[in-house]
Amino acid sequence: MLTRLSLLDRLLPVWIIAAMAGGIGLGRAIPGLNTDLDTVQVSSVSLPIAVGLLLMMYPVLAKVRYTETRRITSDRRLLVASLALNWIVGPAVMFTLAWLLLPDLPTYRTGLIVVGLARCIAMVLIWNDLACGDSEAAAVLVAINSVFQIVAFAGLGYFYLHLLPGWLGLSTSDVHFGVGRIAVSVLVFLGIPLLLGFLTRTLGERTKGRDWYEARLLPRIGPVALYGLLFTIVVLFALQGHTITARPADVARIALPLLAYFAIMFGGGFALGRRLGLGYPQTATLAFTAAGNNFELAIAVCIGVFGVTSGEALAGVVGPLIEVPALVALVYASRWARQRLFPASAAGTDR
């Protein structure tokens, strides 16, 4: 399988580790770099990160065959399973892990609960693509999650931070999340690349045909997604390099429930896909959309509600720093599971 991967794909873990180390090094070596990078923002997210996310998502969404998304919406098993994992299981798992592992750190605990409420709309697309998941299914599930995010985020935040802890005799938090902020985040980080991807495919196929589009154009724009990913990682770690090195014990405490969360959600999603009889591409997509989180929204909410220097904001920031290496590992775990559990799928076309 590896012989069919490009050099960029084959050595992706090496590039990601180098990007993480480079970002931390830049953040430590250049005083004030984190402030400079965060000066201009898009929907409360640093402009360089916003650019990296858009570059990362556009090629993946340009790959989607939008005329085939109807088959996804007709498969109720996948849709119901995804909604249940994302909006019932995911927030409950993060709430439980945060209270079990951070009972003495209320600000970090609250930040992690917010991360658990912010469901996937962005980076999950590239993890799914790298794992050879179903691109059409991922686009549909991400779009549906985005709608639910606008409608349900504030209500679930009130439930998990105020109502449920009160019922259980735990400490509560009175916080309010603006629906407008959530809607803007969805519009910027999903709406723009989704529109560009749709227009690229529609116009490309109309003028040159599907064969030219998929054989000539997609291979040219495809690597941009990984370049965007690496750029985003460098900026993320440059922004928080000082915090990571100055407060390693706090980062480790926050990382523990996050690692458990990613393992539980991915493993549960993969097992559920197998149980439902889904093929490998849809099973992988179900697992990655269950495990991924909308870190840009979580960070924006934590900073906007609790302040940039708050423990909640630190927990929100640590989220993607742990998610990146964790999901990269799960990409390779998913490929391994494909070879062992879905031999018919593994024998087909691969990256």
What end-to-end distance do the CA atoms of the chain give, in Å? 8
- Please report, as a single letter, which amino acid is at residue 334: S
Cβ proximity of 258 and 319 under 8 Å = yes
> What count of Cα atoms within 13 Å lies in the side-chain half-sphere of residue 232?
25
At 74, is the pLDDT very low, low, confident or very high (cuts 50, 70, 90)? Answer: low
- The pLDDT, as a whole number, for residue 37 is 72
At 246, is the pLDDT very low, low, confident or very high (cuts 50, 70, 90)? Answer: confident
Beta partners for residue 46, in sequence order: 41
At 8, is the pLDDT very low, low, confident or very high (cuts 50, 70, 90)? Answer: low
Signed CA dihedral, 260, 261, 267, 272: sign only:
positive
The CATH architecture annotation of domain 7-341 reads Up-down Bundle (1.20)
Does 285 have pLDDT greater than 90? yes
Cβ proximity of 236 and 253 under 8 Å = no
At 284, is the pLDDT very low, low, confident or very high (cuts 50, 70, 90)? Answer: very high
Query: Could you tell me the residue ranges of all domains in the chain?
Result: 7-341
Does 12 have pLDDT greater than 80? no
* Cα three-residue angle 317-323-326, rounded to 5 degrees: 150
**CA 168 to centroid of chain Cα atoms:** 30
